[in-house]
Amino acid sequence: MSLTVRDLISAARARIREIQPAELLELQGFGCPVVDVREPEEFAEGHIPGAVNIPRGLLEFEVDGHPAVRYETAEALAHRARPVILYCLSGGRSALAAEALLRLGFANPMSLDHGILGWEDAGHPVVAPVQALHPAVVDSAFAACS
């Protein structure tokens, strides 16, 4: 019998803990690391304040500082007994990521229910990308300073 992606996500959700945005804020206040498992381009478009970006495809390697990965290892992830919160766009990738960390011996990996979409729907802030200024605006700003 073949499984679908939805089957895999459902199975992961049955094994891991999903949290709501209010609990993420509370845990973040206690220093719990928040990991955005989306791709770097997605992270750059906007992310939860204080989150670090470790793409889902690199997570298992990055959490142990695999030498083939150029990213810096987040030290907060080095201690497997500590809770860690993962999120993605809608909660599927982060559920799979939390299950993978559980299998790697992490005691309390959590996934943000409904991902960053749920976070935004709850009215919480997102770190927005820096807007590129039109060259004429930049030129006029420098001219005013001269």
Per mean pLDDT, which range of 5-9, 12-16, 60-64, 115-119 is the poorest?
A: 60-64
DSSP strands (E only) in the chain: 17-19, 34-36, 52-53, 83-87, 108-112
Residues near 105 by Cβ (< 8 Å), separated by ≥ 6? 80
Q: How far apart are CA 43 and CA 87, in angstroms?
A: 11
Give the SS3 label for residue 23: helix
Q: In this structure, are residues 53 and 38 in contact, taking their beta carbons and an 8 Å threshold?
A: yes
Polymer length of the chain = 146
Tell me the per-residue pLDDT of 66-87, one tens digit each, with 9 for 90 and over. Answer: 333 333 455 555 567 888 999 9
Residues near 19 by Cβ (< 8 Å), separated by ≥ 6? 27, 85, 110, 111, 112, 113
DSSP 112: E
pLDDT of 134 higher than 60 = no
Q: Is 39 exposed, middle or buried (0-12, 13-18, 19+ CB in 10 A)?
A: middle
pLDDT at 130: 61
Between residues 101 and 69, the one the model is more confident about = 101
Band of residue 136 on the pLDDT scale cut at 50, 70, 90: low
Domain made up of 5-145: CATH architecture: 3-Layer(aba) Sandwich (3.40)
Q: How far apart are CA 24 and CA 101, in angstroms?
A: 18
Band of residue 65 on the pLDDT scale cut at 50, 70, 90: low
pLDDT of 13 higher than 50 = yes
pLDDT at 62: 81
Residue 63 Rama label (left phi>0; alpha psi -120 to 50; beta): alpha
pLDDT of 140 higher than 50 = no
* pTM across the whole model: 0.80
